[in-house]
């Protein structure tokens, strides 16, 4: 069901500073920047590699407000890995299959994600403490 790791989401206080860090230390390139009001984030995707099933990225996340998912995470845990996003062929179908196994779905239906993807989150408490995102890449 999981095709690949699409991205690793990293929470940070200052997006521009972290972009500069990943560019200068790892030589990564920003391929997309977006403000996602629904998710409460300003985010950037940095391309890591291409594979048979698609590309993989680091997603840097800065909260739009303290009272958001990433804002609360930063207050509680500080900067670091926030979630893992796995590529799936069909996010609606994956949600049905995973939900039927008793894993709590944060999103019952897909939301808008970075670069036109359809995304949905699974509750970290049911995935061994890992906030898990399903990503169906845009066909465009």
Which positions touch Co ion (CB under 5 A)? 9, 59, 85, 133
Tokens of 90: 């069909």
C-alpha dihedral, 67 to 106 to 73 to 28, nearest 10°: -110
Beta strands across the sheet bearing 118-122 = 29-36, 41-51, 54-63, 4-11, 80-87, 132-136, 118-122, 111-112
What span, in angstroms and rounded, lies between the C-alpha atoms of 88 and 85? 9
Query: Is residue 72 a contact residue for ligand V0V (CB under 6 A)?
Result: yes
Q: Which does 73 bind (CB under 5 to 8 A by kind): ligand V0V, Co ion, none?
A: ligand V0V
**Residue 8: strand, helix, or coil:** strand
Helix (H) or strand (E) holding 139: none
For residue 55, list its beta bridge partners: 50
Q: Which does 136 bind (CB under 5 to 8 A by kind): Co ion, ligand V0V, none?
A: none
Query: Is residue 129 a contact residue for ligand V0V (CB under 6 A)?
Result: yes
Query: Is residue 85 a contact residue for ligand V0V (CB under 6 A)?
Result: yes
Q: Which does 69 bind (CB under 5 to 8 A by kind): ligand V0V, Co ion, none?
A: ligand V0V
| Near ligand V0V by CB under 6 A: residue from 88, 113, 136, 137 | 113
Please state the closest distance from residue 19 (CB atom) to ligand V0V, in A. Answer: 16
Binding interface with ligand V0V (CB under 6 A): 9, 36, 39, 41, 43, 59, 61, 69-70, 72-73, 76, 82-83, 85, 106, 113-114, 117, 119, 121, 124, 129, 131, 133
């Amino acid at each position: 069901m999981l095709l690949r790791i699409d991205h690793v989401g990293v929470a940070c206080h200052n997006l521009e500073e972290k972009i500069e860090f990943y560019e200068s230390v790892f030589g990564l390139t920003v391929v997309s920047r977006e403000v996602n009001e629904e998710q409460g984030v300003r985010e950037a995707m940095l391309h890591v590699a291409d594979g048979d099933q698609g590309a993989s990225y680091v997603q840097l996340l800065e909260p739009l407000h303290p009272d958001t998912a990433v804002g609360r995470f930063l207050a509680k845990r500080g900067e670091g890995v926030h979630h893992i996003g796995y590529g799936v062929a069909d996010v609606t179908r994956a949600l049905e299959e995973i939900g039927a196994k008793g894993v709590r779905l944060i999103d019952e239906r897909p939301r808008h994600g970075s670069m036109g993807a359809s995304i949905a989150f699974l509750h970290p408490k049911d995935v061994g403490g890992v906030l898990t995102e399903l990503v169906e890449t845009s066909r465009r």
